[in-house]
Amino acid sequence: MAMKSSASSNSYLLLAPLALLLLAAVVFLLPSLNGGRVGSDDSLGVLCARRSAGAEDYTVANTAAKEDEKEKPEFSLLVGVLTMPKRYERRDIVRLAYALQPPAARARVDVRFVFCRVTDPVDAQLLALEAARHGDVVVLDTCAENMNHGKTHAYLSSVPRLFASSPYDYVMKTDDDTYLRVAALADELRSKPRDDVYLGYGYAMGGMPMPFMHGMGYVVSWDVASWVSTAEEILARNDTEGPEDLMVGKWLNLAGRGRNRYDLKPRMYDLNWDMDNFRPDTVAVHMLKDNRRWAAAFSYFNVTAGVKLDHLSP
């Protein structure tokens, strides 16, 4: 028995570095093979492994465009869901939340789960499986895993490099406790400019009507993300540390960027304690931090309407 345990332990030690290597390959090699588009049977997910046969493609896309090749998307949006490696169950719920939504008309919307470096060998094993199965994982090599210590800066500054071959019109940062209704957001973006945009739940502060957007989710145009990726003054001032939503607003305010600002309040909001402030015109609802609150959101928005569970008798 002792020899078996030792062999098992040695096997694990050998496999753990392989998982880290696999995850690195999955994340950093495939962008050169594909420009970031997902949807065809032969496509590769950006920064992720090829999905296995039968794997769901929950990228929110214009299915009508597949039927009518003449209809082109009016714009494209990358949604980056910032999450942590150990939140496996949460990501499963969020994936379903996107998969079961109606498509955004005449828009290409791609959803990716964003991580910093994965150093734990167990997390590396399991996240490599996620990447291979779902094709939606982005791991940044420029940051250690964190929430308010530079992860958002690493994400926004990496996007123009990672997706240079197929740039998006807009880039969104959102959290894994936010239920984003993609079609509603797409309708908001459709008539907006394609440059110098900063859109979300606006906060008033210091006499300014909208100096920054709530961290639950905000959108910047591609040119703003590109500026963040080259703005050395952000790093020179050490302005990546602190509440990430405040920091993003500070960068843009000091540089005079994101001048086309749009406040989607009250259609973007925090769910209250009693869970009774849902709105039919919701763009995004935040603070879904447990399964009960996610279930309340799915119930309110009729996500499972008409679905009956068959109870089998013994």
The better pLDDT of the pair 135, 208 is held by 135
Q: What is the pLDDT of residue 312?
A: 64
The better pLDDT of the pair 113, 4 is held by 113
pLDDT at 6 over 60: no
Enumerate the domain spans of the chain: 75-301
Q: What is the pLDDT of residue 98?
A: 94
The CATH number of 75-301 is which of 3.90.550.50, 3.30.110.30, 2.60.40.10, 3.40.50.720? Answer: 3.90.550.50
Tell me if 218 sits within 8 A of 249, measured CB to CB.
no
Count other Cβ atoms within 10 Å, centred on residue 274: 7
Tell me if 138 sits within 8 A of 114, measured CB to CB.
yes
pLDDT at 37 over 70: no
- 3 state DSSP class of 180: strand
Computed over its alpha carbons, how large is the radius of gyration of the chain? Answer: 20
Q: What is the pLDDT of residue 70?
A: 52
Q: What is the pLDDT of residue 23?
A: 53
Q: In this prediction, what percent of the chain has a pLDDT beyond 70?
A: 77
Mean local confidence (pLDDT), 280-305: 96
Mean local confidence (pLDDT), 235-241: 83
User: What separation in angstroms does the CA of 170 have from each of 212, 250, 255?
Assistant: 17, 20, 19
**Mean of the per-residue pLDDT values of the chain:** 81
pLDDT at 43 over 70: no
Q: What is the DSSP letter of 103?
A: P
pLDDT band at 29 (very low <50, low <70, confident <90, very high): very low
Q: What is the pLDDT of residue 5?
A: 42
Reading the block at residue 59, the tokens are 């990228």
Q: Of 1-15, 80-94, 217-231, 252-266, which range is least confident?
A: 1-15
Angle at 105 between CA 50 and CA 294, to 5 degrees: 70
Q: Where are the alpha helices (DSSP H) in the chain?
A: 2-28, 63-67, 88-99, 121-134, 151-162, 182-190, 222-230, 232-236, 244-255, 291-300
Q: What is the pLDDT of residue 25?
A: 42
Q: What is the pLDDT of residue 225?
A: 97
Query: What pTM value is reported for the model?
Result: 0.79
Residues 51-105 have pLDDT tens digits of 333 344 444 545 444 555 557 899 999 999 999 999 999 999 999 999 999 989 9
Q: What is the pLDDT of residue 65?
A: 46
Q: Using CB atoms within 10 A of its CB, is residue 73 exposed (0-12), middle (13-18) or buried (19+)? A: middle
